[in-house]
Amino acid sequence: MRNNKVLLIAMMAVMAVALLSPAASALGVTPGRTTIEFAPNSEHELSFDIINDQHKDVKVMIGIEGDAKDASMLLKERIIALKPDEERKKISYKLKMPKEFETPGTKEIRISITEMPDEKSDQPVTVGAMVGVITQVRIKVPEQGKYLQIEGIEVSEGQAGEYTTFLVPVNNLGTENINKVKANITILGPTNEPIATVETQEESLGPMKRAMLKAVWPANVNPGKYFAVAYVAYDEKTARAEKIFNVGKATIEILGIDTKNFQLGGIAKMDVSLKSNWNEKLDVFGQLLIKSLDMDVIGDVKTSTEELEPGREKVLSAYWDTAGVKEGKYYLTLRVNFGEGMYLEKQFETVLSLNGMSISPLGLTGKVTAGASGNKGLMIFLIVVLIIINVGWFVYMRKKKQ
């Protein structure tokens, strides 16, 4: 009887570990972003892959929106069916450029892939239950002379007393070289009083080239909302960008990024582990932006939108096609969107090898290695096994004494 009880405890422990393992996302798309340089009346043959991660029998609807209205896009089908044996499906389309755009800058086309409701199901369909992902097409339209575009301010938010990292991505959309570009970032308090100013490094930019300006600020302030203003000087011109950011505890905690069985050149499944510190349900989705050291975007992938229960953990999955990507160091920005207009953003450095991907927070000393979530699960399993062995040994010795 005692041995049966031990066996029952062991089975329940193994089942508990299995039930605690988070489920994967059902829908993905790769690449997350495609960037092309504008040429008058040019035609481009492009494609993206829809990822059917859970091998479902599903239909998806493709939608198109954005500000590149002068460009025409030819897509044969808007309703796509995926069978359980189709893990991925390639969708090809043509994009034709106009003779000219009215204004220079980066134009964007957003292609949404949304899972359609099951016609056989009797369950009511809600907007929150619809799974959708987006792939982007960006068109870089140059300007005669010197023209610098600031792509916003990226902030790696931290706790009070820790370092906050500011990244200012800049893009030379002009036809001439920019010899010097540098940013001063002023941090303002809740009543718009200046608290500190930090400087970035100085860079030079050729036509249609990008760079990342970086500055680090010791956030020795009280928790709360703050305001960053970046004044970017390039040669004899200036530009400006602004952003509200937080110092202190966020309602979402990033536990890690897991890329099991990573193979450079293949499709990398990137699992983002999150935990909610909020007391209500949150709709969350993640975006991972991978950039070269020259700030060229080589990967832009998004997860589907999922519900995160109060105080619970969740894994969001995104898919990155690493075909043509070389070994080396890259920047990685993870942005987790939740609630109404709220988000948490973290900056990382990542090193790619043929069989591995390591990730470390930018500007910090702690290191996160891909696969950490999997190691945590293995550790839990080993602890359970050790407990079972000890219980079994205790029962055996007690029975032997009797």
- CATH code for the domain in which residue 297 is found: 2.60.40.10
Give the whole-angstrom CA distance, residue 392 versus residue 274. 36
Tokens of 189: 């308090």
Count of helices and strands (H, E) across the chain = 2, 28
CB under 8 Å, gap of 24 or more: what pairs does 187-191 form?
A: 187/217, 187/226, 187/227, 187/228, 188/226, 188/227, 188/228, 188/229, 189/221, 189/226, 189/227, 190/224, 190/225, 190/226
Give the whole-angstrom CA distance, residue 158 versus residue 346. 9
Instruction: Report yes or no: 347 and 362 within 8 Å, Cβ to Cβ.
Output: yes
Question: What is the CA angle 110-322-317, rounded to 5?
Answer: 65
Tell whether 340 and 364 lie within a shared domain: yes
Tell whether 234 and 157 lie within a shared domain: yes
Full domain range(s) for residue 217? 148-247
Tell whether 72 and 183 lie within a shared domain: no
Q: 254: closest CA among 320, 160, 158?
A: 158
340's enclosing H/E stretch is none
Q: What is the largest CA-CA distance in the chain?
A: 94
Q: How far is CA 397 from CA 4, 389, 390, 402, in A?
A: 16, 12, 11, 9
Tell whether 20 and 47 lie within a shared domain: no
Q: How far is CA 195 from CA 48, 186, 256, 373, in A?
A: 46, 8, 32, 38
Question: What's residue 121's pLDDT?
Answer: 57
Tell whether 240 and 262 lie within a shared domain: no
90-72-171-239 Cα dihedral, nearest 10 degrees: -140
Give the whole-angstrom CA distance, residue 138 versus residue 34. 6
Tell whether 254 and 393 lie within a shared domain: yes
Last residue of a domain, one of 141, 159, 193: 141
Question: What's residue 329's pLDDT?
Answer: 93
Classify strands 79-82 and 313-321 as parallel, antiparallel or unpaired.
unpaired
Q: What's the structural domain count of the chain?
A: 3
Q: What is the sign, positive or negative, of the torsion defined by CA atoms of 141, 203, 197, 156?
A: positive
Tell whether 177 and 280 lie within a shared domain: no
Q: 325: closest CA among 309, 307, 301, 343?
A: 301
Quick count: other Cβ atoms within 10 Å of Cβ 327?
10
From first to last of its 402 residues, the chain has per-residue pLDDT tens of 444 444 444 444 433 433 333 344 467 888 888 988 889 999 999 999 998 878 888 899 999 988 877 788 888 888 999 999 988 899 999 999 999 888 888 889 999 999 888 766 555 544 444 557 889 998 988 888 888 989 889 998 878 888 999 999 998 988 899 999 999 999 999 889 999 999 999 999 998 888 999 999 999 998 888 999 999 999 989 999 999 988 876 678 899 888 888 999 888 889 999 998 877 788 999 999 998 887 778 888 999 889 999 889 999 999 998 888 899 999 999 999 987 677 888 888 899 999 999 888 876 432 232 333 334 444 445 555 556 666 565 555 566 555
Question: What's residue 219's pLDDT?
Answer: 93
Tell whether 229 and 198 lie within a shared domain: yes
Domain CATH for 54: 2.60.40.2310
Tell whether 338 and 383 lie within a shared domain: yes
Tell whether 172 and 221 lie within a shared domain: yes
Last residue of a domain, one of 229, 247, 265: 247
User: Could you read off the pLDDT of 196-209 as tens digits, one per residue?
Assistant: 999 999 999 998 88
User: Could you read off the pLDDT of 211-247 as tens digits, one per residue?
Assistant: 999 999 999 998 888 999 999 999 989 999 999 988 8
Last residue of a domain, one of 121, 141, 161: 141
Q: 255: closest CA among 271, 234, 239?
A: 271
Question: What is the CA angle 170-137-98, rounded to 5?
Answer: 100
58: Cβ–Cβ under 8 A, 6 or more apart, which residues?
A: 26, 27, 52, 81, 82, 115, 116, 118
Q: How far is CA 377 from CA 21, 139, 274, 287, in A?
A: 8, 43, 15, 24
Burial of 268 (0-12, 13-18, 19+ CB in 10 A): buried
Burial of 6 (0-12, 13-18, 19+ CB in 10 A): middle
Instruction: Report yes or no: 333 and 362 within 8 Å, Cβ to Cβ.
Output: no
Q: How far is CA 230 from CA 52, 208, 327, in A?
A: 42, 21, 32
